Amino acid sequence: MSKYPCTIRVGTSGYSYAEWLDAGFYPPDTKPGAMLQQYTRRFSVTELNYTWYQMPKAPAIERMRQQVPSDFQFAAKLTRYLTHEIDADQWRTHAAQYRDGIAPLIQSGQLAAVLVQFPPSFQRTPQNRHYLAALLDELHGLRAAVEFRHVSWATERVYVELERRQTALVSVDAPGLKELFPRLDIVTSPDLFYIRFHGRNARGWRSGNMQKQFNYDYTEAELHEWTEEKIERMAGQTCSGLLFFNNHVRAQAPQNALAMIRLLVDQGLMH
């Protein structure tokens, strides 16, 4: 039994990577279509990245859902039409389409959260603040978690507003670059804390190449920083937590996630 009434799930951002075959995470010759089933043997949650690239479609989501055990959970990334390529006239329609697309996960109770990840170009301007407020209203009931990539959002007023809305602020572990949103452990929702581990590859982050940006292997000490100093405190303030590793390039993500689970179990935060 865990010491806290907080249920923590650890997983990776995406699960379908050819590199994970080479790294031995998946058995050799695993077909892409069979990766999710293999993944569910090790983890109880995953973050869906493809819902950012493509507007989710309910039949496809339902087919995917049927491949996993009923207690498996998904965090779905919000479509890029609502975070990166916002069309002032169309975004409400896109929000409705998105909600329809992920409906099978909502209905089955397997939607752990909706990840609203903004790009570094989304800075704290009056226009963007109004948009964010309207977007969160539109996503009401979907358990949104907001990830900022720009430091301008790191202010008390933002945390207070998220807290008022009971919306989780995503804690990010990323390189310590001054324009990036800092590594914080602030909890703004009584229901959820959400941490994303992107890796600390500062040179790769600036390269613009995803394969360099997320190429990083966390050391045991770096993971300890989180479990001992932050996660324990965060878990004390909420009833659930999601931790995702996005450093997928050489299959470091699943290895680091498994290491994180071991640490959390040792600490009595997971069972």
Partner 1 sequence: MERSIIHLNVADFAVAVERVVDRGLQDRPVIVAPLGSARAMVYDMSEEAYQSGVQKHMLLRTARRLCRDASVLPPHPDRYERAMRALFKQALPYSPLVEAGDVDGHLFVDTSGTSRLFGPPVDIAWRLRRQVKTDLGLDPIWSVAPNKLVAKVATRLVKPTGEYVVGAGEEAVFLAPLPVWLVPGIERDDLSRLKEFNFTRVSQVMALSLEHLQVPFGNRARFLYETVRGIDVSPVLPAGQQRPAVISDHDFDEDTNERTILEGALYGMVEHAGRRLRRQRRAARHVSIALDYSDGIRCVRQAAAKPATANDLTLFKAARQALNLARVRRLRIRHMRLTCDRLVFPPAQMALFPEDRQTREKQDRIVAAIDCVRSRFGRDMIHVGRTLAA
Closest distance between partner 1 and the C-beta of residue 19, in Å?
6
- Taking residue 41's Cβ as centre, other Cβ atoms within 10 Å add up to 7
For partner 1, give the closer residue by CB, 84 or 224: 84
19 binds partner 1 (CB under 8 A): yes
Centroid of chain to Cα 128: 21
Burial degree of 271 (CB within 10 A; 0-12, 13-18, 19+): exposed
Q: Shortest CA distance to 172 belongs to which of 151, 198, 191? A: 198
Closest distance between partner 1 and the C-beta of residue 184, in Å?
27
Q: How many helices (H) and strands (E) does the chain have?
A: 13, 8
For partner 1, give the closer residue by CB, 31 or 41: 31
Q: What angle do CA 97, 71, 3 make, to 5 degrees?
A: 120
Tell me the window of 13-21, 149-157, 160-168, 252-260 that interacts with partner 1 (CB under 8 A). Answer: 13-21
Return the structure tokens found at 40.
């569910």
202 binds partner 1 (CB under 8 A): no
Closest distance between partner 1 and the C-beta of residue 54, in Å?
5
Tell me the window of 26-34, 228-236, 237-245, 255-263 that interacts with partner 1 (CB under 8 A). Answer: 26-34
d(CA 230, CA 7): 15
100 binds partner 1 (CB under 8 A): no
Closest distance between partner 1 and the C-beta of residue 259, in Å?
23
Closest distance between partner 1 and the C-beta of residue 85, in Å?
9
Helix (H) or strand (E) holding 144: strand 144-147
For partner 1, give the closer residue by CB, 81 or 226: 81
119 binds partner 1 (CB under 8 A): no
Closest distance between partner 1 and the C-beta of residue 98, in Å?
14
Return the structure tokens found at 105.
């996960």
Q: What angle do CA 250, 260, 63 make, to 5 degrees?
A: 65
Is-contact 147 198, C-beta < 8 A?
no
Q: Which residues contact 195 (CB under 8 A, 6 or more apart)?
A: 170, 171, 172, 173, 226, 231, 234, 241, 242, 243, 244
For partner 1, give the closer residue by CB, 21 or 151: 21
Number of residues that bind partner 1 (CB under 8 A): 20
Applying CB under 8 A, among 27, 28, 53, 156 the residue interacting with partner 1 is 53
Applying CB under 8 A, among 3, 5, 37, 50 the residue interacting with partner 1 is 50
Closest distance between partner 1 and the C-beta of residue 212, in Å?
10
18 binds partner 1 (CB under 8 A): yes
31 binds partner 1 (CB under 8 A): yes
Contacting residues toward partner 1, per CB under 8 A = 14, 16-19, 22, 31-34, 50, 53-55, 60, 63, 80, 209-211
